[in-house]
Amino acid sequence: MYNFELVKPKTIDEAVAALADEEAQALSGGQTLLPTMKQRLAAPDRLVSLANIAELQGVSATGGVVTIGAAATHATVAEKAASAYPALAALAGHIGDPAVRNRGTIGGSVANNDPSACYPAAVLGSGATIVTNAREIAADDFFEGMFSTALDEGEIITAVKFPVPEAANYRKFIQPASRFALVGVFVARFADGVRVAVTGASNDGVFRWSEAEKALSGDFSAAALEGLSVASDDMISDIHGTAEYRAHLVKVLTARAVKAAG
C-alpha cells in the first residue's frame, strides 16, 4: 500500500472540506478500501476517516422508518435494527464474518456498490432513501451500475432511511470462497406493492425484478412466480457460476424469500 495522509475530522463539514482535494478518498470501515489499496488498485493521497463523526452514528426508528447512520457497522445494525426491521438486521448479521461486521459500515457498502454486496439489495428492495451531506437520493436513482452510484465527488452518505415493509426477507446463495452473494434476493411487501431487488447476479449491479414484483403484488406466494423467468443476457458469468445458473438462482431465491417472509 502506498503511503497517504490520514485525517480524522470530527464533523461532516470538516470531512467535506477534507474531501475537496481531488486525490482524497473517504474511509469508512475500510473492509473493502484497505484491501483494494494493498493491491494498489487505489492509491489516494489522503484518506478521510469518517469513524469519528458523531452525526454519522446511530440507529433509530420512528413513524415506520428506520434511519441508520452511515457509519453504523453491520454488527450494530444487526443488533439495533433487530426489532424495528428484522429482515434488514438479519441481512446485516450475515455479511462477511463477525470481525468484518465489527468494522464494515452501511455507508461504505452502499457507496461502494459492489455488484455482489448484500446492502444494495436491502436499500433498493426497501425503496430506501440515501441521505448525503447535500441532498436525499431515492434508491431507484442511486445505483448506477457496478461500483457506480449517483454520488458526486466528495459527497458523503450521512444516513440511509428505510421505510419498514409489512413483510420482508433476504435470501443469499453464498459464493463459497469469498462469502459474498453469488446471488442474493431481497423481497419486501408494502401496502401498495411488492419490491424485489437482486444482487450478485447482474453485470450492472443490483436491479429490480419487475415481473416478479408485479406477480407478487397480486399474489404474495411462491406459486405466483411459476412461469416467470429471468433473462441471463446481462448476468455475471465466472468460474463460480454461469449466467444461466445465476438467472436460475434469482428465481429460486426469490421464491425462498417470499416463503420465508410469510
Partner 1 sequence: MTKINMTVNGRAVSAEAEDRTLLVEFLRSGLNLTGTHVGCDTSQCGACLVHVNGEAVKSCTMLAAEAEGAEVTTIEGMANADGSLSTIQAAFQEHHGLQCGFCTPGMVMSAAALLKDNPKPSEAEVRDYLEGNICRCTGYHNIVKAIMAASGQLDAIAAE
By CB under 8 A, residue 140 contacts partner 1: no
Assess 90 for contact with partner 1 (CB under 8 A): no
And the C-alpha cell for 116?
Answer: 455482489
Neighbours of 21 (CB within 10 A): 15
Of 15-23, 47-55, 184-192, 210-218, the segment contacting partner 1 by CB under 8 A is 47-55
Q: With respect to partner 1, which residue has the nearer C-beta, 38 or 259?
A: 38
Positions in 223-252 near partner 1 (CB under 8 A): none
Q: Does 1 bind partner 1 (CB under 8 A)?
A: yes
Q: In the set 17, 61, 100, 260, which binds partner 1 (CB under 8 A)?
A: 100
Which position among 9, 96, 107, 154 is part of the footprint of partner 1 (CB under 8 A)? 96
Q: Is 103 in the site for partner 1 (CB under 8 A)?
A: yes
4 binds partner 1 (CB under 8 A): yes
Rounded to 10°, the helix 243-261/210-218 angle is: 30
Q: Please check whether residue 74 is in contact with residue 93, taking contact to mean a CB–CB distance below 8 angstroms.
A: yes
Give the contact letters, 6-35, x = binds to partner 1 (CB under 8 A), - = no: x-x---------------------xx--xx
Question: CB 161 → partner 1: shortest distance, Å?
Answer: 26
In the bound complex, what is the minimum distance in angstroms from residue 15's beta carbon to partner 1? 15
User: By three-state DSSP, how is residue 224 classified?
Assistant: helix
Contact assessment for residue 124 and residue 139, using Cβ atoms and an 8 Å cutoff: yes
Does residue 59 belong to the site contacting partner 1 (CB under 8 A)?
A: no
Our measurement of the distance from residue 86's CA atom to the centroid of its chain's CA atoms, rounded to an integer in Å, reads 16
DSSP 3-state of 132: strand
C-alpha distance from residue 171 to each of 32, 66, 70 (Å): 22, 21, 23
**Helices and strands (H, E) in the chain, number of each type:** 10, 14
Q: What is the DSSP letter of 165?
A: P
Residue ranges binding partner 1 (CB under 8 A): 1-6, 8, 30-31, 34-35, 38, 47, 49, 51, 75, 96-100, 102-103, 179
